[in-house]
Amino acid sequence: MSRVLLFLLGLLAASAFAQDTKKEIQKYQQMIAEGSPVELFELEGEALWKKPQGPRNASLEKCDLGQGPGVLKGAYARLPRYFKDADRVMDLETRLLHCMTTLQGRSRDEATKRVFGNENQPSEMEYLSAYIAAQSRGMKLAAGSSHPKEKEAYELGRALFFHRAGGWDMSCASCHGEENKRIRMQDLPVLSKKEYARPIVATWPAYRVSNSQFKTMQWRINDCYRQMRYPEPNFASDATIALNVYLTVTAAGEPYRGPGTKR
Amino acid sequence: MRLLLPLLLLAAPAAAQDVQKVLQRDFHARGQATMDRVVQDGLQRVCTESNDRPPAALAKQLEADQLKTISFPQGSLMGDWKSGERIAQNGRGLQWTDPAGSTGGGSCYNCHQLSPQEASHGTLGPSLLRFGATRGNGPDMQRYVYGKIYNAKAYNLCSQMPRLGYTGTLTPEQIKDLVALLLDPASPVNK
């Protein structure tokens, strides 16, 4: 992996002008996508989906992600959405957690003990997300937006996006609110606008080359709040789901092409 | 109509105070990132509710309140620019992953161009290249730069720049070193 980073550094050093740098970064992104290990995460996720676990020694194969028990094709592209059995809007990870507790009989504490993995040991949620998201490739993003609770989540997500608080007075829009801005060398998408939200949402969850980890949307939101100097959002909380609804509804119509590969 | 009305109310835009209640319910303290951080202070509330465009008179009044939070050290406000460069590079501090009481940095390069040697700089804030060379480095300019870093909101209420001194992210000594990075003629910023 360090060879790839050295290559990038070399490219950066070789490019005197910002425009050249941008082109070289695009070349680099194309290169890392071609050598991505995303498929390995999908395979491991499939094994976990089918593996009997928990007090009921049940697999997740009967888990209903919105398209019927066990139907995976196109399910991710229609999340987050309202689920009648839980009377709640849920994103992928929240729904998986629901299935772990109801179908497998696992406790919430046990199932959420380690939701974010690391380089040496990815988490169960990360593997499962890779497997399930991959089965929506080519399908248009169509998160739920018609049920009153879906509308309520969208409005809450939008308000959260522009809400300024935390140790550094930040909202999501502090970084993702203006066009053509960067943090260090990283371009910042204006996620309240569909032309920016579409390519981003369509490639999460994603493998991150810089730290060799597979990352989910729940992690993405969590780590933004860490850097915004907030306390930590609860995993699968309504606030995190609402933000996910806001972003995914804003990106509606984009063909899903993840799991992606990021810098 | 009677049935529809509550549904419409549910989907109405969420007010800042309601969002705050959601944050208090759905977030938890971790490390030094305590829950008091989701309780908005006056300017966070005003900037949220006005989309960062507060009424001029109110902004002036709240900026004056913020100015009162700055205590300017006695004597020269110019520290060591070399130390300032390290502080500008350092993006740690105040996060739940940073040990409480540890010395953080200013995260300056996340948003600003400073020394020309550092190509990896953000653009959320204005370029500060040649800041001192073009604006001078007299006592008034030193005082302005110190104050701006200590509490950016005293000069522009809804600025996106953190209040680095007021929040305890940086110590007065660290802020003096950043003043030197921006104003010292020997600093690479001004070369």
Query: Are the CB atoms for A213 and A230 separated by under 8 Å?
Result: no
In CATH, what number does A36-262 get? 1.10.760.10
Residue B107 sits in the same domain as residue B39: no
Catalytic residue IDs of A: 224
Residue pairs between chains A and B whose CB atoms are closer than 8 Å: 146
Check CB contact under 8 Å for B28 and A170. Answer: no
Consecutive sets of 10 residues in chain A, 263 residues long: mean pLDDT of each? 47 54 73 80 97 98 98 98 98 98 98 96 97 98 98 98 98 98 96 98 95 95 98 98 98 96 88
Contacts (Cβ under 8 Å, ≥6 apart) of B54: B46, B47, B62, B157, B158
Check CB contact under 8 Å for B163 and A169. Answer: yes
Please report the pLDDT score of residue A23 as a whole number: 77
Q: Which of B7, B14, B122 is nearest residue A155 as measured by Cβ atoms?
A: B14
Residue B101 sits in the same domain as residue B171: yes
ipTM above 0.90, yes or no: yes
Residues of A in contact with B163 (CB under 8 A): 168-169
All structural domains of chain A with their residue ranges = 1-35, 36-262
Digitized pLDDT (tens) for each residue of chain B, 191 residues in all: 444 444 445 567 889 999 999 999 999 999 999 999 999 999 999 999 999 999 999 999 999 999 999 999 999 999 999 999 999 999 999 999 999 988 899 999 999 999 999 999 999 999 999 999 999 999 999 999 999 999 999 999 999 999 999 999 999 999 999 999 999 999 999 99
**DSSP β-ladder status, A181-183 and A260-262:** unpaired
Q: Which of A160, A164, A238 is nearest residue B44 as measured by Cβ atoms?
A: A164
Please report the pLDDT score of residue A9 as a whole number: 47
Residue B87 sits in the same domain as residue B51: no
Q: How far is A73 from chain B (nearest CA, A)?
A: 30
Please report the pLDDT score of residue B10 as a whole number: 53
Residues of B in contact with A185 (CB under 8 A): 119-120
Report yes or no on B110 lying in a domain: yes
* Domain span at B99: 81-190
Considering chain A, what percentage of its residues have pLDDT values greater than 90? 84
Residue B166 sits in the same domain as residue B102: yes
Residues of B in contact with A174 (CB under 8 A): 124, 160
**DSSP β-ladder status, A260-262 and A206-208:** parallel
Global confidence as pTM: 0.91
Q: How far apart are CA B47 and CA A75, in angstroms?
A: 39
Please report the pLDDT score of residue A24 as a whole number: 75
Residue B32 sits in the same domain as residue B103: no
Q: What is the pLDDT of residues A184-203, one digit of tens each?
A: 999 999 999 999 999 999 99
Report yes or no on B104 lying in a domain: yes
Please report the pLDDT score of residue A164 as a whole number: 98
Residue B97 sits in the same domain as residue B125: yes
The total domain count for chain B is 2
Check CB contact under 8 Å for B110 and A180. Answer: no
Residue B31 sits in the same domain as residue B93: no
Please report the pLDDT score of residue A20 as a whole number: 72
**What one-letter code names the amino acid at B25?**
R
Q: How far is A246 from chain B (nearest CA, A)?
A: 12
Residue B48 sits in the same domain as residue B103: no
Report yes or no on B14 lying in a domain: yes
Query: Are the CB atoms for A249 and A197 separated by under 8 Å?
Result: no
Please report the pLDDT score of residue A39 as a whole number: 93
Q: How far is B45 from chain A (nearest CA, A)?
A: 7
